[in-house]
Amino acid sequence: MTAFPFVLMYHSVGRGVSAAEDPYRVTVTPERLDGHLRAMRRQGLRGMSMRDLLATGGRGMGLTFDDGYADFLDEALPVLRRHGATATLYVLAGRLGGENAWDPEGPRKKLMTAEQVRTAAAAGMEIGSHGMLHRCLPELTAAELREETVESRVRLAEVTGAPVEGLAYPFGEVGDREIVAARAAGYDHAVAVALPAGVSACRHALPRAYAGQRDGDLRLFAKRLRQRLRERR
């Protein structure tokens, strides 16, 4: 892979949530997701999970959904199927069936149960880890970091009956220690968001572009162009 792939980061997909009710902008409508996939197809990019994307050497566009919101099955999966797309769901092993308690000012949203995670996996989606409890990894002790990376991977493998190969760093926060921990835990890849100064992109620190309700075709194109320009520097 000569260049790092273009990867979009989503969270929840649903309807009826106003911007005022969603201060962290975690929600896109199914129609907006559909528009994003159509726009990317016009640029020759088919959406796929990180597992599928990396297997092709990055020839496509990564689709990732953080936190494991329960609305994925009803709202996002039908859209992905229409486009022949797959995606990676990064779920929280310690919050299955719970809520997004780490977003104090946002709307309370249900997270997938273990059974719903298995349903998504059976539909061809990749299941990755987002840690145990959505804690900022650079702030944790060594023992806590191990729990978030190693224990979450073990638990999710028990849920799905398959190896868990991907990790998404909560809040996108990552440093050299966390990259080493991801590798040591056995992950094949790990994704962040924008990488901090001093951290170079690699297979265990792949940058992603946030995709939100306000992103139309031109904004998505600009985000892809921005990544290409960064790669050339």
Superfamily, domain 6-228:
Glycoside hydrolase/deacetylase (3.20.20.370)
H helix runs in the chain, sequence order: 30-42, 50-55, 77-82, 114-122, 142-146, 152-160, 176-184, 217-232
Among candidates 140, 2, 155, 175, which has minimal Cα distance to 92? Answer: 155
pLDDT 10s digits, 133-183: 999 999 999 999 999 999 999 999 999 999 999 999 999 999 999 999 999
The Cα–Cα gap between 64 and 147 comes to 23
pLDDT value at 19 more than 90 = no
pLDDT of residue 58: 84
**Single-letter amino acid code for the residue at 144:** E
Domain regions of the chain by residue span:
6-228
At residue 2 the predicted structure's pLDDT band, cuts being 50, 70 and 90, is very low
CA distance 144 to 135: 9
pLDDT in tens, 68-99: 999 999 999 999 999 999 999 999 999 999 99
Contact 75, 30 (CB under 8 A): yes
pLDDT for the residue numbered 4:
82
Largest Cα span, the chain: 46
Q: Which two tokens stand for residue 103?
A: 């977003």
Specify whether the CB–CB gap between 231 and 44 falls below 8 A: no
Cα separation, 174 vs 206, in Å, equals 10
Which residue type, as a one-letter code, is found at position 200? S
Residue 190: pLDDT over 70:
yes
Q: What residue type is assigned to position 215 of the chain? A: D
Q: Is 61 helix (H, G, I), strand (E, B) or coil?
A: strand
Mean pLDDT of 34-62: 94
Strand partners, 206: 191
